[in-house]
Amino acid sequence: MPASSPRLTELAHGGGCGCKLAPSVLQSLLADQPMMGTFSQLLVGAETSDDAAVWQVDDNLAIIATTDFFMPMVDDPHDFGRIAATNAISDIYAMGGRPIMALAILGVPVSKLEPAVVRQILQGGASICAEAGIPVAGGHSIDAPEPIYGLAVIGLIRPDQVRRNAGAQAGDALILTKGIGVGIYSAAIKRGALPEGAYDEMIASTTLLNRVGSELASDPAVHGITDVTGFGLLGHSLEMARGSGLSLTIRQDAVPLLTHAQALAREGFVTGASPRNWDSYGSGIVLPEDCPDWQRMLLTDPQTSGGLLVACAADAADALVERIRAAGYPLVARIGTAEAGPPRVVVV
């Protein structure tokens, strides 16, 4: 980055998926929005807080549409572009689809950032789109007080292969494909306390495309998928529980973590989004009575470009874990179960 440009994170009041509105705030804003039930071809709308909208074209084809953007959580502009693009494309994979095209969303304080920096952001995003095999076919830009970048993404899927967060079934096993701790790492970055090697680990995780979701959608043993982002593992698990009408149990000792996530959480490196997330869950989350604050902050930690939470038939879970690991997700783990009961998440 040119020496004359300020650090990207200095220009933003928040970063990554930690910028997202808290779940309770979002619910209140959407409470009086019109229902989409009159559109018979709209297979997935906003009713269950799913990852993307799905519109059925015919018996064999449906279109997936999503958008995602945020402010920088890192100072390297190329890395910022890569992370934001990976995160946006993830919504398509989380529905089980295949992305085909993206449009860039860009807001920059033009008086504060040099054009070379903005070009690096765009180049970073384009490099991830190229990795996903899709073009950046256009976009929109504005002069904004804080740097913002993301994508609107279009994908395709067979209607019978759509995987919703509301698809979990009683008796299912729960699988998480990436480690938790991205928000905690970003908090450590802002305070100059990220351990050596941790930045590379975070970039490797946040720029790892969730393309395995497209493959899982064709497996009848896979019943539901969502990606874990700004609402934390507990928040997105709760969306799956409520959408599916089931009680989810998560084993806290089975949740995969980035290498330094636990140590940093114990030292108090958390984002402002973690307590906001917790305050939004209400009675939908049940924690052990002796659960320490640092453990709770791990489970509420906002994940930027996090992994997929997969609900699948229990007898297929171990084989699926090995299949996902072989596809390039080394921290994938079986973390819990879905059972009949009140829609909630119980941590044990």
Q: Are 139 and 105 in contact (CB under 8 A)?
A: yes
Catalytic residue among 17, 19, 129, 312: 17
291 flagged as catalytic: no
How many helices, marked H, and strands, marked E, lie in the chain?
11, 13
CA-to-CA distance for 218 and 265, rounded, in angstroms?
38
The closest alpha carbon to 171, from 316, 338, 320, belongs to 338
Residue indicated by tokens 């004359």: 4
Residue indicated by tokens 């009848």: 220
The backbone torsions φ and ψ at residue 106, rounded to the nearest 5 degrees and listed phi first, read: -135, 130
Cα-based angle 200, 205, 208 (whole degrees, multiple of 5)? 120
Which residues contact residue 239 at a Cβ distance below 8 angstroms, ignoring those fewer than 6 apart?
A: 48, 49, 165, 226, 231
Which token pair is 257?
């973590």
The closest alpha carbon to 224, from 38, 30, 49, belongs to 49
CA distances, 13 to each of 8, 70, 279, 338 (Å): 10, 11, 20, 37
Q: Which residues are catalytic?
A: 17
